[in-house]
Amino acid sequence: MSGNTPDNVVSKHAWREIDRAGLPKRAAADRVADFLEIYGPYDEATAREQAARCVQCPEPSCVEGCPLNNRIPEWLALTAEGQFLEAAALLHSTNNLPEICSRTCPTDRLCEGHCILDGKAEPVNIGAVERFLNEYAFVHGAVDASTASPNGLRVAVVGSGPCGLTCADELAQRGYAVTIYASRSLPGGLLVNGMSAFKIDRSVVQRRIDVLKKKGVAFQLGVTLGEDVTLGKLREDYHAVFLSVGAPTARPLHLPGEDLDGVVQALPFIMQQSTDCGHQSPPANTVGKRVVVIGGGDTAMDCLRTAIRCQASDVLCVYRRDEASMPCGHTEHDEALEEHARFLYQAAPVAVVGDEQGRVSGLRMLRTELGAPGTDGRPKCNPIPGSEFEIPADQVILALGFDPLSFPPSSDFADLETGDNGGLRVDDRHMTNVEGVFAGGSVVLGPSMVVNTVRDARQAVADIESFLRPG
């Protein structure tokens, strides 16, 4: 370590001598009044101290726990020495969207959950140090926007979510001319059009898009696939096409009463309340209403916390399994509790109840019990006969998950083969059944963490390059 390192950071036993510190966090009473991000960054001294807690183990399990195999101990060591720009450059070498992943990754299940200190002491706060490094690099103008010399090849990227942005970034760095096609008026996919701003501010995504534009990436926005652009036209105009349209199709409830006034899907609700973009769905006003959110993932947590910010009188999450089985991140769940969301576990809806005017008035529920693990490793959820009860509700928000986009039969995109999960089928080169058309991210994998779609895009770019520039 450098001579400027504080004495309390030098010790090889820093993990015992320095307590884990979280990011500065706004009080719940303050943050529920707006849609601003709830965390601030470390200061330099705290970042160095927290990075110094890493024991630099020879076979770092945190790297194995990261889908991108981020070189975590290396950039933690650089951070501890105060070499922030060098650490940020190393971080960027394995992740095209580190400032986004540091806000969206469930680090308690990934890198930090694999930290060797976990169990002996609290794990290193890897995500917080990563967030500090990204902000430091942007503030100091050290985010590289350089590219290779143009290679004369053009690639269309369809979809502007994290997978599409990563693909475009990697291709631009290698000298390809890239155009991103997006259906919304604002690029960013679900990062902008389906994730609450208190989790990731729109300016963070826009900042990354501005970097891509400096690299020469062009954007075609508000494009409807099969109408404004066809697959045949894309293949005609570009040397390769990469499809990263995500998994935007919301799963329905399939229960009596789902068509009642007051039953809304999660993404339109989040978009209406926390973004300036319009949406075709009827407005969902929650002021003074009893809101029930069905689901247990991160999107459900976003809905709960959004409804609280929109002055609902009561906000309840119902989930058919127990708390330990919830797929949302632990931090997301804890923050919802801090903001006074309520939870009802091991209960499943059997019908939405309405009043004489056709408006939601409640939910009919059944208690559930957990059985043996299913094929996905999660415990089966079995209804308990005779346990029916009702809960009041003025609005029901469905956060039941998403399926990949299905293309209209009349579109030539429908010529693309799909797999058992409804997503596009690709071979081991990320290529679909149509020559030169590649796909990756959630449209292939199904709903996935941002970091997984980044990894998939990086792998797909290597395959695209092998196809276009063999040898």
pLDDT score recorded for residue 20: 96
pLDDT score recorded for residue 274: 59
Would the CATH topology of 154-248+403-468 be identical to that of 252-400?
yes
pLDDT confidence tier of residue 5, bands split at 50, 70 and 90: very low
What mean pLDDT, rounded, does the chain reach? 92
**Strand 347-354 to 360-373 pairing:** antiparallel
The CATH number fitting domain 7-139, selected from 1.20.1250.20, 1.10.1060.10, 1.10.10.10, 1.10.1200.10: 1.10.1060.10
% pLDDT > 90, the chain: 81
pLDDT score recorded for residue 403: 85
Q: Which CATH architecture has domain 252-400?
A: 3-Layer(bba) Sandwich (3.50)
pLDDT score recorded for residue 280: 52
Q: What is the pLDDT of residues 207-231, one digit of tens each?
A: 999 999 999 999 999 999 888 999 9
pTM given for the model: 0.92
pLDDT score recorded for residue 148: 93
DSSP β-bridge partners for residue 391: 363
pLDDT of residue 406 exceeding 90, the answer is no
pLDDT of residue 384 exceeding 70, the answer is yes
% pLDDT > 70, the chain: 95
Q: What is the pLDDT of residues 11-57, one digit of tens each?
A: 667 888 999 999 999 999 999 999 999 999 999 999 999 999 999 99
Residue extents of the structural domains in the chain: 7-139, 154-248+403-468, 252-400
Answer whether 217's CB lies under 8 Å from 172's CB: yes
pLDDT score recorded for residue 282: 58
pLDDT score recorded for residue 471: 73
pLDDT of residue 275 exceeding 70, the answer is no
The hierarchical CATH code for the domain 154-248+403-468 is 3.50.50.60
pLDDT of residue 277 exceeding 70, the answer is no
pLDDT of residue 376 exceeding 80, the answer is no
Mean pLDDT, range 276-289, rounded to an integer:
68
Mean pLDDT, range 244-265, rounded to an integer:
92
pLDDT of residue 3 exceeding 80, the answer is no
Q: What is the pLDDT of residues 152-203, one digit of tens each?
A: 999 999 999 999 999 999 999 999 999 999 998 889 998 998 889 999 999 9
If one compares 246 and 23, the residue with the highest pLDDT of the two is 23
Q: What is the pLDDT of residues 123-155, one digit of tens each?
A: 999 999 999 999 999 999 999 999 999 999 999
pLDDT score recorded for residue 122: 93
pLDDT score recorded for residue 4: 45
pLDDT score recorded for residue 11: 64
